[in-house]
Structure 1
């Protein structure tokens, strides 16, 4: 019994977790600054989404929800990087090949479980009504979301969403071994930025932004009706596999037309 605390302490790599947390914040800020400064499409998207967010913040209930998420989001962040990530992160630097492999596995596994939670707990799956539909209904008040609406959610969903993601990392670390700092940083940024982009009011569907447009359009199709499909968040892979792709007319129907949305205006 005396060896258990020592064993846990030996696998508690708080320095690497702290490095990962700082790197995530710094890299995200740099990428966003460079994107809006150098890429006109990103700059226009930021302008449109900011305008929509400012307008929505005039509503007291909306502002109160966002204030709650800012407050407790930071608390959850501290808990995650102080009490969970240190047990799943390695002091070693892994090869580029392993980092890429681990990133793909983490995001695929997370998205699979997110798909199941989203479809069967948060929505009427067609088989039974999800027990947490009342929780997710808060998020679905936004029928045409902007980027800021990615955080307009019920407190239970905040904790559950972050818990599912970090739980995926912790669980997989027992199977694949502890992950390197770059793996944790890359997957966290991807997880966060993809989820936020899905809510973006996106201004163009021209090359090379067609995929970004598709992801935004498909998630807006999901938000337009509480009975919509497109339950995954990282990609559309599992919606394709399980027949829940929604091109704007509900899932389970074959729609060959490419998804489009009317031009966004501020």
Structure 2
């Protein structure tokens, strides 16, 4: 196991570049820019609340430090720049996301929606109703740490079986992980092609926020909810 700093730099560069490129082009679409502005209006009101200021500051710190430890100290041990076919990159991407989402589904359903301490921790996030993108960050810092840790620990665990992943594969997985978590919380009302699916995803997560007893526990896909009968 070697610390591949070059692969680490490529991972970081690809992640930053793709995030900026996608953000730039997505909001060039008039319908999506309109939805962004609607979310921003709600954000301006919610950010005035003291509880939002405090929790979001703590959450950002928890997420930032956990991500930095992963990016700088952990990730370079489990990625490389060995040439790989495109199909292998996307197959590994699929495996990472599906394994993480299964672990997250179990954690969300039986730990955060169980009884006791972690249920109270998760209840902070469920204070949000009629969610918009800002509510993706309205999370108790301990829950933020657990959520990020579940994802970043998926990478080294899988490398024990599959070997190191390409830097681009992990960058894509990290991008999907972060952006889908935000999309889940966006208020999107575009019930027409090609945005109907995004609106549907948003509506399903909003239903989860309305009642902690409802399902929809996964975050990348609702496949596990359908398989285990918790889809609502």
Q: CA deviation at 1:130?
A: 5.8
Matched, 1:135 2:121: yes
Match for residue 177 of structure 2 among 191, 200, 204: 191
- Structure 1 residues 88-103: aligned runs within 5 Å: 88-103=78-93
Where does the alignment leave 5 or more consecutive residues of structure 2 unmatched?
none
Q: CA deviation at 1:14?
A: 2.1
| C-alpha distance in 2 between matches for 1:145 and 1:96 | 37
Matched, 1:176 2:167: no
Q: CA deviation at 1:74?
A: 2.2
Q: Once structures 1 and 2 are overlaid, which stretch shifts more, 200-209 or 215-224?
A: 200-209
Q: Name which one, 1 or 2, has greater alpha-carbon Rg.
A: 1
Match for residue 115 of structure 1 among 85, 90, 105: 105
Which residue does 1:261 correspond to in 2?
none
Which residue does 1:22 correspond to in 2?
13
Structure with greater helix share of residues: 2
Matched, 1:84 2:84: no
> TM-score normalised to the size of structure 1?
0.84
Q: Once structures 1 and 2 are overlaid, which stretch shifts more, 71-80 or 41-50?
A: 71-80
- Say how many residue pairs are matched: 232
CA-atom RMSD, angstroms?
1.3
Which residue does 1:153 correspond to in 2?
139
Q: CA deviation at 1:62?
A: 0.5
| C-alpha distance in 1 between matches for 2:116 and 2:64 | 29
Matched, 1:47 2:37: yes
- Local SS of the residue matching 1:137: helix
Where does the alignment leave 5 or more consecutive residues of structure 1 unmatched?
1-7, 247-266
In the TM superposition, what whole-angstrom CA distance separates every residue of 1:194-253 from its partner, at most 9, and x where no partner exists? Answer: 11101010021111112111111100000011211100010110000000011xxxxxxx
Match for residue 226 of structure 1 among 197, 212, 221: 212
Matched, 1:56 2:46: yes
Which residue does 1:258 correspond to in 2?
none
In the TM superposition, what whole-angstrom CA distance separates every residue of 1:81-102 from its partner, at most 9, and x where no partner exists? Answer: 1111111111313110110110
In the TM superposition, what whole-angstrom CA distance separates every residue of 1:9-28 from its partner, at most 9, and x where no partner exists? Answer: xx111221132123212211
| C-alpha distance in 2 between matches for 1:232 and 1:93 | 33
Structure 1 residues 97, 40: closer, same or farther in 2, change over 3 A? same
| C-alpha distance in 2 between matches for 1:185 and 1:167 | 15
Structure 1 residues 68, 157: closer, same or farther in 2, change over 3 A? same
In the TM superposition, what whole-angstrom CA distance separates every residue of 1:25-78 from its partner, at most 9, and x where no partner exists? Answer: 2211221111112x1121112111111111100001101111222333222221
In the TM superposition, what whole-angstrom CA distance separates every residue of 1:122-157 from its partner, at most 9, and x where no partner exists? Answer: 014xxxx36510111111010211112111111111
